[in-house]
Amino acid sequence: QTLPMFQNAIYAVYNCAAVLTLLKAMDISWEYAAKVFAEFELNDGRNETFMINNEKCVLNLIKNPTGANEVMKMIAHDEQKRSVLIVLNDNDQDGRDVSWIWDAHFDLLIDPLTECIVCSGTRAYDMALRLKYEGYNVGLQVEENLSQAIDKLCECPGTHMVISTYTALQQCRSILRRKVS
């Protein structure tokens, strides 16, 4: 049986597979899942889209290498020019150890379509260093103040991608909502 997908992302596939497994185990019809999958809107940092100054801005949550890699793949498959803001925090809810950034494929951002990358958050300089080691130098900026970092991103050309760790996500969303055109 073919079911609609509310989002074309591997984590959405995993979540839907878990729901279908539970329905099968409980002998509940898949029709319920089909209805939810067709109508569900995921708006909490998973490809959440905003229009700012007539440019698309996409917000994504990253918490670990696996999730970060999926976001990097999604960005790499988009064949539009882009600018990226990476917000890396190390608060308790994020996890104090940010060494996982060395296991994530941030190299996928390094191609001619990436116009600039802005790093922000409590560990902005760690993220910038990670990108420098990957070989990204042109257009790399560090701005610790999140509001100013988003302003810098909005000055850059192309689709705007905001990649945020957990504790910065709601703040990013709030700032982006105020900028919606």
What are the E-state strand segments in 53-165?
Answer: 55-61, 82-87, 114-120, 140-142, 159-164
Higher-confidence residue of 10 and 72: namely 72
Q: Does residue 113 have a pLDDT over 90?
A: yes
Write the single-letter amino acid at 147.
S
Report yes or no on whether pTM surpasses 0.75. yes
Q: Does residue 114 have a pLDDT over 80?
A: yes
Average pLDDT score, the chain:
89
Higher-confidence residue of 29 and 128: namely 128
Nearest to 119 by CA among 141, 94, 89: 141
Say which range, 8-17, 46-55, 139-148, has the weakest mean pLDDT. 8-17
Integer CA distances (angstroms), 122 to 57, 131, 138, in order = 22, 16, 22
Domain assignments of the chain as residue spans, ordered by start: 10-39, 46-179
Q: Does residue 4 have a pLDDT over 80?
A: no
Give the confidence band of 47 by pLDDT, cuts at 50, 70, 90.
confident
46-179: what fold? Protein-Tyrosine Phosphatase; Chain A (3.90.190)
What pLDDT was estimated at residue 107? 95
Mean pLDDT, residues 83-102 taken together: 96
Nearest to 9 by CA among 94, 66, 87: 66
Cβ neighbours for 66, distance < 8 A, ≥ 6 positions apart: none
